[in-house]
Amino acid sequence: MTRKANLAEYSTRMHRVLEHIDRHLDQDLDLRALARVAHFSAFHFHRVFFAWTGETVGDYLRRRRLEIAAVRLAGQPKLSVLNVAVSVGFGSTESFAQAFKARFGSTASAWRAGMGQRRNSGQELRNPGQVRGSSGRDNVSTFPTGAAMKVKVIERAPVKIAYLTQDRWAPFDTLRWRRLAAYPSAPGKPPRPVSSRSADRGHRPPRGA
C-alpha cells in the first residue's frame, strides 16, 4: 500500500471511530471496543489515536461528553440535568457536576441559566475574542425573517481542503487562522498542512504512517 493510500485508510478508520463515539456517548466506550471499530489492535490504536488527536482516548471521551452535555443543557431547557448527564455517559449527577465545573468553571444549572439569559436578551453566543468588523460589530450575516431563498445545487470536481477546528468555548485563535490563510497554493501543489492544537483539535495523520 502506498503512503497516500495508507493515510487515506487511517483517515477513514479514525473518522469512523470519532463518529462512533459521538453516536454512543451514553455507552461504555473503552479502548478495546473503539480499537475494534478501527480494526486495530488496542496497543496500536492507542498510539494512533494520540498521534491523530493529541489526546488520550480517556481525555477525548471526557471532553466530548462534557461539550455535548453543555450543548444539550443550552439547547434543551426542559431536559433535566440528570437526564443530560446520563445521555452522555455519566452514572450520577455528582460525578457529572464535578467534571462539568472543572471543565467550564460553573455548575450545569448556572451554565443553562446563563445561556437562557443570553438568548432572551438577543446576545450573540460567540467565542470571547471573536474577530469583529471595522465597524466594531461582529462579522455575522443577517437575513430578513421570511425572506425567500432560491437554492441551486451545483456539482463540482473534488478538491483538497485544509481546515482547523476551534473549541467553541475557547478564545478565538486568530493567529492559527492567519497562518492558514497565509499559505498560498502553488500551481499543481496542495496547500501546506497546518496542525491544530486547540482543545478541539484538528485530526492529523499519525507519525510514520
CA distance linking residue 99 with residue 110, whole number of Å: 14
The percentage of residues in the chain with a pLDDT greater than 90, rounded to a whole number, is 42
Q: Which residues of 85-111 are buried (b: 16+ CB within 10 A; e: fewer)?
A: bebbbbeebeebbebbeebbeeebeeb
pTM of the model: 0.60
CA distance linking residue 87 with residue 76, whole number of Å: 12
* 47-99 confidence digits (pLDDT tens): 999 998 889 999 999 999 999 999 999 989 899 999 999 999 998 989 999 99
| DSSP letter assigned to residue 203 | P
The average pLDDT across 30-36 equals: 95
pLDDT of res. 130: 38
157 vs 140 pLDDT, higher one: 157
Nearest to 200 by CA among 143, 151, 127, 112: 127
* 163-185 confidence digits (pLDDT tens): 666 555 455 556 666 666 666 55
Architecture per CATH, 59-123: Orthogonal Bundle (1.10)
CA distance linking residue 184 with residue 58, whole number of Å: 37
